Amino acid sequence: WHFIKLMGRSASHIALECALQTHANVTIISEEVQSKKQTLDDIVKSIVSVICQRSKKAGNFGVVLIPEGLIEFIPEMKALIAELNDLLVKEAEAFQELRGSSEQLVFVNHHLSKDASYVFSSLPASIQIQFCMDRDPHGNVQVSLIETDKLLVELVEMELRELKTEGKYHGNFSAKT
């Protein structure tokens, strides 16, 4: 499976055009995610569903198109980004004094609201670091630098492993970004 992150931070026009031209197996449209109030889990389950259906037909391959700004359109991620932006500007000095990314991640998680902390904790450590380290000159998360494609691959792999242990998925999954 190929997970391809496409240009298009604030609109999914390029992802949509690529989907029309290539007939990708999955195309995520940020505006649809936002209007349907889909969670990250909803998106992952949708991709997993397509992978499982194709696997039953001996199609252990496919393409997933992802617009680079997707993360901002997922309601719980948008709230997390807003909270992180405020926190890391307000606590910039204390944050910078900490040694190493693991201490910084604990600091951030401790200062987030309960909901934001839950979302932050559910992300792979590599993505948590990207949320905290890649800031623009105003202290905001640089969304285009977050590896949304790798985030989705990791979460899809986790979901498929769980389904495999339950005996609900029998295919082989390998992904490239």
**DSSP class per residue in 113-172:** -HHHHHHHHHS-HHHHHHHHH-B-TTS-B-GGGS-HHHHHHHHHHHHHHHHHHTTS--S-
DSSP 91-124: THHHHHHS-HHHHHHHHHHHHS-HHHHHHHHHS-
* Each residue's pLDDT tens digit, 73-116: 999 999 999 999 999 989 989 998 988 889 999 999 999 999 99
> Considering only 13-27, 53-67, 88-102, 129-143, which range has the smallest mean pLDDT?
129-143
Which amino acid, one-letter code, is at 156?
V
- In the numeric block, the tokens 């979901």 are attached to 159
pTM as predicted: 0.91
